[in-house]
Structure 1
Amino acid sequence: MSQLTATPESALVDVPVHIRATGLPPSQLVTLTASLKDEKGSLFQSRAFFRTDGNGELDLTRAPALGGDYLGVHPMGLFWSLKPDKMFRRLMKRDVINTPFEITLELYESGFTQIPETPTASIKVKRWYSAPGVQRTQIRKGRIRGAFFLPPGEGPFPGIIDLFGGIGGLVEFRASLLASHGFAVLALAYFNFEDLPTQLLEIDLEYFEEAANFLLAHPKVQGPGIGVVGVSKGAEITLAMASFLKQVEAAVCINGPTIASEPSPYRYKELVVPASNLNYERVEFNSIGAMVYRNVILNPLNEHNQSCVIPLEKAQGQLLFIVGESDGCVNSKKFAEESLDRLRLHGKSNGRMLAYPGAGHLIEPPWSPMCYASWSPGFPFPLFWGGEPEAHAAAQEHAWAEVQKFLRQHLTGTKSKL
């Protein structure tokens, strides 16, 4: 009798799952599928074809996919190759504490031909974004709006501010997952949430300083400084925070510009960094009708843009640029390279870059499905994020470990075991 197992059946989303099938005919073509529905009811699916070994067994740590949504030996391929049934949907966990994503794995004794209606075996895998004991507190203190995640235990824990980009609102899945690995994390909203501005017409860095001071005042947060992790517009803000706020000791900038991009000038007390103009004539559309934004933000080395460059040479903390070389939204590698050149020009060596060939814009926790393009607030067309699934998956796995190691090293002074 055939049996399908997945170990562990319930774990954090960044824990790999070992998938095996036994009790099958030897050297038989079989199909494995994965599916899940997000909290909005959108369906994501993947499938791959395999051949059992001489004992009628299948082990995804050894067996190559012969076709389907990926090829070759990739034990987590069914997870990172999940695709939406409707174009331009992005898989994003909303309730990070109370419910997991539940992925259904199904085994069919056929391959390449039409899949039977009834699977031979199936199993459900629960993928959590918070570990047992992680506490979530909604934050409405002064101007600050967000969610604070605290790991179990006495602490103190290194403190992190987590920032997302142009989608606005409050996004919590990375913050809760980092808290599951021993960080005290504030997922910080900065526009289009509750009573915050609906549009990002100016970025007041004193708001982010207030958030940093809130973290450092918490009895379970380890000082003297904090880390910041940001993606896209959030990466741009992360860099500005590192440049102007003395509280920031470690900054992770994931695929963001290193210039104040329109329409958001930066203000810190009496200092202003004006926003760079965008050249919308450079907008392109790819074959699926998504908007390619990569070349819209003008080159920061252009003379008329010099005042718009974030003065990262002022940063006292460490800077880590995470770059997807196939980013379809921001020319992030060029921005990062020019930033490192700028640091060297000022005699600084506190920045480094991790560049990933084939990775797109949305570099997320390991084995998250690559989002190729999706709708984003404020844009009349879907935005193209880019990336090649296999390379993007490898980048996410490597970068997640490196980000945690970087934050631990520069916020606690100790080397990570990762």
Structure 2
Amino acid sequence: EGRFPGVIDLFGGTGGLLEFRASLLASRGFISLALAYFHYDDLPPKLEETDLEYFEEAADFLLRHPKVLGPGVGVVSVCKGAEIGLSMAVHLKQVTATVLINGPNFILGVPQVYRGQIYEPMPHSIQLLSFTRLGLVEFGGIYEETRIVNNQYIFPIEKAQGHFLFIVGEEDKNINSKVYAKEATEQLKRNGKNNWTVLSYPGAGHLIEPPYSPLCCASGTPGVCSAVHWGGEVIPHAAAQEHAWIEIQKFLRKHLDVTSQL
């Protein structure tokens, strides 16, 4: 019965359709859309560009559903998905609450396109790629040189009208998410905004997922690398997943379910 907060769920560079987090959100009183955007059915097998109008269509589709509360929707996103989630928050008025799990504050890899405008990705220095003694690849440093001198690639996050929850694993070896979240919130501060919360977890790695999932320290990513080091230590990572999952739901309810605050 009734209407429920609507949420779009975005994963990262693995592609395909991953539904476990959306299913868990649905079991907690949200209407959730697990949204694939490449490597699935008739979608491109790999990303050549990211067309933001596709995600705008998804937000409008969700808001048209008779059981979605509105007037806005939330986004829960990780890694490449968090790049897209941040861009959605900046460009789409439909997005009013955005959860960004270990994401950048700029475009990764391929351009974004929105209504004829092309937004280029941040250049990177592949020579800064690093390897563990086990041969696992760490991408965390490849943007550190170019990012400092290329501010024009940073998202204008201050244009977003909604709220942000940044979730950071401080032992993330894939994205320097602690630094990027700090830059994003400082940018918001400089523009007189206070529409964010940061949860930063020492010992947690890149893949902060719903609780009781085991720590995935390393795995392959199709089309990118056969052995990516995600980072993280078992006990603090598990604790981060428990805490973050509760906070994600509280955040979404606070900023999407206005009826609960009456």
Using structure 2 for the length normalisation, give the TM-score: 0.96
Q: 1:380 to 1:355 in 2, by over 3 A?
A: closer
Specify which of 148, 151, 165 is matched with residue 306 of structure 1: 151
CA distance in 1, matches of 2:80, 2:67: 29
Equivalent residue, structure 1, for 2:214: 369
Specify which of 56, 62, 66 is matched with residue 219 of structure 1: 66
Residue 310 of structure 1 and its aligned partner are, at CA, apart by 1.5
CA distance in 1, matches of 2:142, 2:102: 15
CA distance in 1, matches of 2:253, 2:145: 33
Partner amino acid for 1:217? Answer: R
Residue 311 of structure 1 and its aligned partner are, at CA, apart by 1.5
Residue 301 of structure 1 and its aligned partner are, at CA, apart by 5.0
Are 2:126 and 1:280 equivalent residues in the alignment?
yes
Equivalent residue, structure 1, for 2:138: 292
Specify which of 196, 209, 214 is matched with residue 43 of structure 2: 196
CA distance in 2, matches of 1:300, 1:179: 40
Partner amino acid for 1:360? Answer: G
Are 2:226 and 1:381 equivalent residues in the alignment?
yes
Deviation string 1:358-411 (CA, Å, 9 cap, x unpaired) is 000000111110000001111343000000000000000000000000000000
Residue 268 of structure 1 and its aligned partner are, at CA, apart by 1.4
Are 2:190 and 1:345 equivalent residues in the alignment?
yes
Q: 1:380 to 1:228 in 2, by over 3 A?
A: closer
* RMSD of Structure 2 on Structure 1 (CA): 1.4
Residue 287 of structure 1 and its aligned partner are, at CA, apart by 2.0
**8 Å contact from structure 1 (residues 235, 256) kept in 2:** yes
CA distance in 1, matches of 2:145, 2:47: 22
- The secondary structure found in structure 1 opposite 2:12 is coil
Equivalent residue, structure 2, for 1:258: 105
Partner amino acid for 1:340? Answer: T
Partner amino acid for 1:194? Answer: D
**8 Å contact from structure 1 (residues 300, 308) kept in 2:** no
Instruction: Name the structure with the higher strand share.
Output: 1
1:230-245 aligned at under 5 Å gives the runs 230-245=77-92
Partner amino acid for 1:189? Answer: A
- The secondary structure found in structure 2 opposite 1:175 is helix
1:91-240 aligned at under 5 Å gives the runs 154-240=1-87
- The secondary structure found in structure 1 opposite 2:34 is strand
CA distance in 1, matches of 2:164, 2:59: 17
Are 2:175 and 1:330 equivalent residues in the alignment?
yes
**8 Å contact from structure 2 (residues 106, 122) kept in 1:** yes
**8 Å contact from structure 2 (residues 8, 59) kept in 1:** yes
Count of residues paired in the alignment: 261
CA distance in 1, matches of 2:247, 2:161: 20
- The secondary structure found in structure 2 opposite 1:251 is strand
1:3-18 aligned at under 5 Å gives the runs none
CA distance in 1, matches of 2:155, 2:260: 30
Q: 1:211 to 1:344 in 2, by over 3 A?
A: same
**8 Å contact from structure 1 (residues 283, 295) kept in 2:** yes
Using structure 1 for the length normalisation, give the TM-score: 0.61
Deviation string 1:240-281 (CA, Å, 9 cap, x unpaired) is 00000000010000001110112x211211333211112111
**8 Å contact from structure 1 (residues 276, 298) kept in 2:** no
- The secondary structure found in structure 2 opposite 1:171 is coil
Residue 415 of structure 1 and its aligned partner are, at CA, apart by 6.0
Q: 1:269 to 1:299 in 2, by over 3 A?
A: farther
- The secondary structure found in structure 2 opposite 1:240 is helix
Residue 296 of structure 1 and its aligned partner are, at CA, apart by 1.4
Q: Which is greater in Rg?
A: 1
- The secondary structure found in structure 2 opposite 1:189 is coil
Deviation string 1:152-210 (CA, Å, 9 cap, x unpaired) is xx130100000000000100000000000000000000011111111212111110000
Q: 1:351 to 1:301 in 2, by over 3 A?
A: farther
CA distance in 1, matches of 2:199, 2:145: 21
Stretches of structure 2 lacking an aligned partner (at least 5 in a row): none
CA distance in 1, matches of 2:254, 2:195: 13
**8 Å contact from structure 1 (residues 175, 187) kept in 2:** yes
Stretches of structure 1 lacking an aligned partner (at least 5 in a row): 1-153
1:387-398 aligned at under 5 Å gives the runs 387-398=232-243
Instruction: Name the structure with the higher helix share.
Output: 2
Q: 1:300 to 1:396 in 2, by over 3 A?
A: farther
Identity of aligned residues (%): 56
